[in-house]
Chains A and B, each alone.
Chain A
């Protein structure tokens, strides 16, 4: 079901491109190999860098011997902390837009080792193969110091962080008397949940190619979700003039948050390019993709108390997460629990434990993807204890307003998600008792969960240039990490000006373009889309003004609101025979091009008084082998409420991809750390398991109708994260329904199921 709500006064034409399943405008480039990624740019004299990673987790380097590496013909230089140039000194110079509170990691800064796989040297050579070989000849001696990487062993040693990272508020103060209410509740659930550390592992590994031009300026092709974030960072760190560097990232082969902060390959490539004054590429290896940012390991407790009719009386959610020694990475985890259900007695606690690891990093639905599943499993456990349908329990405690703030939601069609999702799935036919459905040796389980994610908006600017030929170019320094930004922005611009998709080009991934924040948190449609609409609205107004001034204009005296734009024409709404083409208006007025720039801000007043969120209901069928404990996800229905869906095709892809990852979170993904070595051991695609095609069933995505005229001028909320949030819990709940085995530790590998089947 694709239902696009109508927002009066927005759509210029009901048949415009917004809401249409437009194919990716960059699709042809991608499938023909003409989309170029960071490691694909080159110049004839390109040098290649290979990073040497630390063999220990904590301590210091006592000696580096680079002689053997440098002796190889073709090896140009080896950078280490001993020979690095002077770099920025103040922490603020090393900060970036996504940096949490603390002192950002500085590559090659000194002899100290803070985490395993820390970059400790950069070997530069004529070829990649040579650089990689020479990197192995760099002899490093360490003095190891004791390290701590085990969250479980260090959970007691945690502290409460503050508002240490943008986008994340500390938990609200407790409301009511949660401890007393819990003890007084006739039906109670109190359980501990764990989430393993996960690495982003986009297909494209992080890479930077710096092209050093004859005039000394640099073009930096970087894998990033924020070209301007990286631009500012490298200018600050290396003391460069802003005009001397341009950062480009027109195509990104997946990022999932890993490109929100400048990563060390960017630093390394810049170091070498500026010192050697030549072009260079530095690309991380797959194991080195485990050397920075990850979804942090988490231990949680959820306690729920309820009356016998299912009314929630108490809700307690505590989480402890790992962060590094140098920064307070926070993703709060627990706040959505206070928002999702109506409950008068709530306590939400969030603490951090410092470990000798690199700083964690936002990963698809950071916080919510970890915290909401714990809550949603606890709700399932409560439903079992109550003898109540899990869906009915959620409806019973449905939050009509945001219990954390008391504010209304700008829109919340979660009830419609439940209804349409359940209907599509056939939830009503579920036999409630665990182990009551089977097919031969397979136990069948049906589980469900709700999901929630914030509908954020930042500030962005966009530029539009309309040519006399009727072709429009719109630009903003945002990113398309595979999400469909190119396509969606093209649709918005085409819609406002009534142009065919083919006449509109959207440019992004270039630091010289109008300002846009990092692309993440599902806020790009809202943030950049609003700027695109704003700038196209200005072009539109200009065209109307020009049209009104033309001699013998059929549009003379027509008010703006009575005009529609369609088929590259300005048309009088109530008399469609009165029309002029955009080209006619521009030619007639002697206008070669119309250039506009605009900046869009969130509706701050509305945002102060409302809660903005996307919601989902996920229904999953699993098949569990009754003897072997192997779990297969057989089907998934995901019903999403995310405001207006600009492009149902790319939006569906986002949800499907997120569900696939949810299957990975639920069943497979886990970084195994050897705590004696402080090192992740399964650092490759063979042993760090993400879902393969054979793991992925039919995924049925529904977008329910949701009208929202407060969220932004588009009525759209963004769908990058919401698709993953409920999935692991729905799988866990389905496994319980199939087998009677309750697993609270993600990922649910077969050994955990087997332990319960005994």
Chain B
């Protein structure tokens, strides 16, 4: 491993102050340390934020929940308030990684995990995300796990998180403190599409520290689900995942949230697809129509075209389950 400096921050302000160019914050380390060992990431310094008091889950004045950036994934998923009020979120977290990883990984780190694209990990191959300008190995290469939406000719990587897909559907807000003070970022704006700068995953600026994730009061607890489809029953990243939340008025959809994972550089939401559900009866045909709206620009590559059909079917299934579900179900 390359040499790097290590320091432990005593406060958020101190952490931000130390975040010079080339440094990285480390908390759970479940992704960063792997990438350093693989020589994919080469930070010159690590600022350890794991002891900052950002690990609580608290009520917000607006009736929602504030998830501390350093709250562990497992603690978040098993928090009774999360389970009762945001079952979709709890289910999404538990669909990810393994029990051991969830015990280590933090919520903030989960947002910032890097893609699992093979080419990103293998330093002998081209990857614009790892080494800008080197090319995209996955385009024309092995691309079974890659994007069908929002990709560019520079990068077709996908964001691997499950948690983020649910946060996107719930319209969470990411709270950040940085050199310019504190600010809030609507979840949909946190991650960016690759475009011609695939090396940049998010809108965070150097020195920005995620402190919390605010969940709004509406949790779609009665009619929601998280459906993850993968190549084995556990410990695999999503080929396609769906976070679905509905508000029902009898058999009619009053409001809808729909986010897709495993298909793009960020959790994929589309207001038009949700609009296609609202005010309509909750039927498979309507769900399929909405899915087709969401997937209207989907484009496959040699090995991943199946994801388009799979995503459509998964959306129909997830919405069907969400509509059927009565009351909060524990995952």
Contacts and interface: CB of A to CB of B under 8 A. Distances in A.
Contacts of A676: 140-141
A147 interface: no
B39 A679 contact: no
B141 A628 contact: no
A358 interface: no
Contact of A133 (B1, B125, B306): B1
Q: Select the residue from B1, B142, B229, B237 with max chain A CB neighbours within 10 A.
A: B142
A754 interface: yes
Interface string A177-220: 00000000000000000000000000000000000000000000
A672 interface: yes
Contact of B141 (A674, A754, A755): A674
B119 interface: yes
A82 B316 CA distance: 62
B118 A692 contact: no
A43 to B, nearest CB: 24
Nearest to A136: B39
A139 to B, nearest CB: 13
B317 A674 contact: no
Contacts of A577: none
Interface in B297-319: 306, 309-310, 313-314, 316-317
Contacts of A758: 309
A686 interface: yes
Contact of A691 (B39, B116, B142, B232): B232
A667 B233 CA distance: 11
A673 B144 CA distance: 12
Contact of B119 (A632, A681, A694, A754): A681
A568 interface: no
Contacts of A53: 124
A368 to B, nearest CB: 25
Interface in A509-525: none
Interface residues of B, number: 34
Contacts of B196: none
A627 to B, nearest CB: 5
Contacts of B116: 686-687
A33 B152 CA distance: 50
Given A668-B231, A693-B234, A628 B313 contact: yes
Interface string A252-296: 000000000000000000000000000000000001000000000
A279 B119 CA distance: 36
Contacts of A681: 118-119, 122, 125, 137, 141-142
Interface in B1-40: 1-3, 37, 39
A129 B1 contact: yes
Nearest to B304: A751
Contacts of A682: 118, 142
Interface in B134-192: 137, 140-142, 144-145
Interface string B216-246: 0000000000000101111111010000000
Contact of A692 (B37, B235, B314, B316): B235
Contacts of A687: 116, 118, 145
A533 B237 CA distance: 51
B121 interface: yes
Nearest to B118: A681
Given A672-B142, A674-B142, A687-B116, A679 B310 contact: no
A673 B124 CA distance: 14
Contacts of B233: 632, 692, 694-695
Given A627-B317, A754-B309, A758-B309, A683 B232 contact: no
Contact of B229 (A136, A692, A750, A755): A750
Nearest to A627: B313
27 contacts: A627-B313, A627-B316, A627-B317, A628-B310, A672-B142, A674-B125, A674-B142, A681-B118, A681-B122, A681-B137, A681-B141, A682-B142, A686-B116, A686-B237, A687-B116, A687-B118, A687-B145, A689-B236, A691-B232, A692-B234, A692-B235, A693-B234, A694-B233, A695-B233, A751-B310, A754-B313, A755-B306
Interface of A: 53, 55, 129, 132-133, 136, 287, 627-630, 632, 667-668, 672-674, 676-677, 679, 681-684, 686-687, 689, 691-695, 749-751, 754-755, 758
